[in-house]
Structure 1
């Protein structure tokens, strides 16, 4: 029987790719990639010639059984997302669960993920925290925000640049204008930036300067 490898890839700076990750991707029989075009550039950079197959949120449900059978027949398969660690707000959970249920060994390599550096450099308490990922876009958003208003642990969110201002405005409304917030964008990249302040101050900053790139929001818990 083969094995499933979950392999983190850089969130920006290619120097964050580990030597072990490169070796596993070269030795695997197949690489499952969220976007083969994006991952193709990464593999080319590190001279990895392993065959790739698309595995994303729109096809993962129907692909899981076939992948499990391939691993059971002896294939070692590596799963990567466009950036960061698979299954963290990216495809990977369904396949991992299926492998565990079928007695297949799963090996998740340590490596890049966006929320850890954003949390650490926020200056907010990190002894206890909760990762929320992306908030619901419409249905359930208000309910979730009302619930989180009473959360005492530091909260971490992912957000897209064109929705950041709306989300910060929600935080002002539900958490209060003075709630400490830290927004990190373009982590590990050339224009990396972290803006810290009250929810209102950070909202005003990004209302005047529309953000670009991948974004992580860290919010202090309720005192």
Structure 2
């Protein structure tokens, strides 16, 4: 009797599992707008699983190297340095307007899919200050993170593009004025770093060094030649002094 009861329980469980698997959406309603058809969920585009509970179905359904993980499954997007990365349900967006800094603080996140619209002077997917050294002023170089590395000077050069060169008027040469944006307004010359001179008026430093070297070498040669002449004359005098006593003895 007990064995028969045990077998009956197993049969009922098997029938229940079969019913649930065959008519899953009758027992558990379809999620995310799915439709129940012949006992199974028909999911709308972008949803997966028996109950349309998953937002992805493997890595191929996540864009830009996103990973499909979790229960229910979701796309885990690659968010990199300083919030630059990818967002959205399937990692299709390169920015998120709800977060500050996803466009590098120099752009606006908009559109579908969402993209950064950069301010003037900023470049790339996430509005970096530079993508090459030519985007950095006054001898600055472009770093791997897209920011300008400014040349070491006193006073310090600052700014996203190394454009800020002064704090006060004294930092600008030749009567130049330091403007509120920390750039020099030159009076005597039209341009040039801190109004030292325009490019046309600044002599080539390498040429000056070469010219000075020639002058020094020439002066050194002339000094050596003068010393040699004086030394030769001294030898002549000494020779004359040695020879004369011999003549006194008739030799």
Who wins on radius of gyration, i.e. which is larger? Answer: 2
Pairwise TM-score range, normalised by the shorter structure = under 0.3
TM-score (normalizing by structure 1): 0.23
TM-score (normalizing by structure 2): 0.21
Larger relative contact order (Cα-Cα within 8 Å, sequence gap ≥ 6)? 1
Which structure has more helix as a fraction of its residues?
1
